[in-house]
Structure 1
Amino acid sequence: MSSEPATYPGYRFPAEIIRHAVWLYYLFSLSLRDIELLLAERGITVTHESIRRWVLRFGSEFAGKLRKRRPRPGDTWHLDEVFLRINGELHYLWRAVDQDGVELDILVQPRRNASAAKRFFRRLLVGLKYKPKRLVTDGLRSYGVAHREVMPEVRHRVSPYLNTRAENPHRPTRRRERQMQRFKSLDQAQRFLWAHTMIYGHFRPRRHLMTAAQHRRARAKAFRIWREETCVQIAA
């Protein structure tokens, strides 16, 4: 049996190093050069440009595998949108979470009109393959139009006071936006934020609702799933 460390096809660095670099990038507000320094402290000489290529190649792939392993979310969806300034122009990040704070999906769009709301609703239905029992949104009228046309049978509650579950997840996005000195394009923002949402959320359960023992078990399970879904056999 070979004692050589396993590698992803086409990459000379061990898979364990690559997936660890991707994990660091999406879970913490670290730059590529920060990760280069952290790896160097452990005797691993790799450039930040190589780490950038790893992130682009594996980030969305790993995030998609984690999403498939996620239990079915709840039946109450909270939706919210927040502005992003991309290359000097205003865009909007649409986000949906369930009643337990589990992030369902995100979509970056240049508008926040009825067409944009309907596009996000349809994306949620295609990705989750079921309809909720209730929608909770703020007072944006575009949600009402999308609700009537896409999910008229679902109850719709309009309340800015009940929608903090969808607003709170914007905070990690704001931190990364500042650290990255804003996003450079819509495609870059969508690609990064989708992967960030899935990977960050996988390792960040609602700790304040858990005992210490429950949190340790949840953390151990998250790491086990991460190792299983980023192993060489799956990546190949």
Structure 2
Amino acid sequence: MREELLRWNRSALTRKAGIEKTYLKVRGRWCYLYRAIDRNGDLVDTMLSEHRDMAAAKVFFRSAKSATGLVPDKVTTDGHGSYPRAIRSTLGKRVTHRTSAYRNNGLEQDHRGIKGRIRCMRGFKSFTSAERFCRSYDELRNHLRPSVRHNHHVPASRGRMLQLRRAATVLSILAAG
């Protein structure tokens, strides 16, 4: 319920997405956190998986597609072998799959937020709590993140006002739950 309230803005996303995974320790074992962002750096979807294979990639692409209601024109990923087949089978054959290191840098840098938060927590003891934390942390971070476009000046007073509105929205959602 809370996640849906924070996801209201997903229909305005651009038609280019970057898909990347990172590693997290859960119960002493490595798990994979799949994350997708659009061209503007806004979060599309996130999913924690115990495996990095074709089935996990298909589930993630279906989830990202249902979260936005859009099929992207171009998807940028790392060079993992399961992505091209998963993209063709879930998103369609018209979607262009790109593997580019420099185009994926934005998402690689975006991992720093969640990795820095998890590092001080020293991992997770259960998979369900890790999954819940990763999804809610990314949603909340995306909601509170200032969404200014390149070369657009926003006065500090307006930025503070927008941030206070976003924080009030999040607090009201948490109080309702």
- Fold shared by both chains (TM-score > 0.5): yes
Deviations 1:138-170 (A, max 9, x none): 111111110111122211111122101221111
**Structure 1 residue 107 corresponds to structure 2 residue 47:** yes
CA distance in 1, matches of 2:169, 2:114: 27
Instruction: Please state whether the residue corresponding to 2:12 is helix, strand or coil.
Output: coil
The alignment's C-alpha RMSD in Å is: 2.4
Matched, 1:168 2:131: no
Partner of 2:22: 82
Q: What aligned pairs does 1:222-233 form with structure 2 within 5 A after superposition?
A: 222-228=163-169, 230-231=171-172
Confirm whether residue 194 of structure 1 aligns to residue 135 of structure 2: yes
Could you state the TM-score of these two structures normalised by the residue count of structure 1?
Answer: 0.66
Paired with 1:178 and 1:96, the residues of 2 have a C-alpha distance of 21
Q: Secondary structure at the match of 1:68?
A: coil
How far apart are 1:218 and its partner, in Å?
4.5
Q: SS of the residue aligned with 1:231?
A: helix
The amino acid of 1:82's aligned partner reads T
Q: Structure 2: where are the runs of 5+ without partners?
A: none
**If you compute each CA radius of gyration, which structure gives the higher value, 1 or 2?**
1
Percent sequence identity over matched residues?
30
Quote how far apart the aligned CAs of 1:137 are. Answer: 0.8
Contact 2:10 2:44 in 1 (8 A): no
Identify the residue that residue 12 of structure 2 maps to in structure 1.
Answer: 72
Q: How many residues align?
A: 175
CA distance in 1, matches of 2:138, 2:36: 11
* Alpha-carbon offset, residue 123 of structure 1: 0.6
Q: Secondary structure at the match of 1:93?
A: strand
1:157 is paired with a residue whose SS is: strand
The residue identity in structure 1 corresponding to 2:105 is: T
1:143 pairs with one of 60, 77, 83: 83
Contact preservation (8 Å) 1:66, 1:202:
yes
1:157 to 98, 109, 121: 98
Residue 206 to residue 142, structure 1, CA distance change in 2 (3 Å): same
In 2 relative to 1, CA 111–135 (structure 1 residues): closer, same or farther, beyond 3 Å? same
Contact 2:47 2:131 in 1 (8 A): yes
Q: Distance in 2 between matches of 1:172 and 1:215?
A: 23
Larger strand proportion of the pair? 2
How far apart are residue 217 of structure 1 and its match?
3.0
Partners of 1:71 and 1:164 lie apart in 2 by 24
State the SS of the aligned residue for 2:82. helix
> In the TM superposition, what is the alpha-carbon distance from 1:183 to its structure 2 partner?
1.6
The equivalent residue for 1:29 is none
Aligned in 2, Cα 1:211/1:125: closer, same or farther, shift over 3 Å?
closer
Q: 1:229 to 1:180 in 2, by over 3 A?
A: closer
Determine helix, strand or coil for the equivalent of 2:164.
helix
The match for 2:60 is 120
Aligned to 1:178: 119
**What runs of 5+ residues in structure 1 fail to find an aligned partner?**
1-59
CA distance in 2, matches of 1:96, 1:150: 15
- Show the 5 A alignment for 1:57-68: 61=2, 63-68=3-8
Q: CA deviation at 1:84?
A: 1.0
TM-fit CA distance, 1:215: 6.0
Q: Is the 8 A contact 2:148 2:154 kept in 1?
A: no
Aligned positions of 1:87-102 closer than 5 A: 87-102=27-42
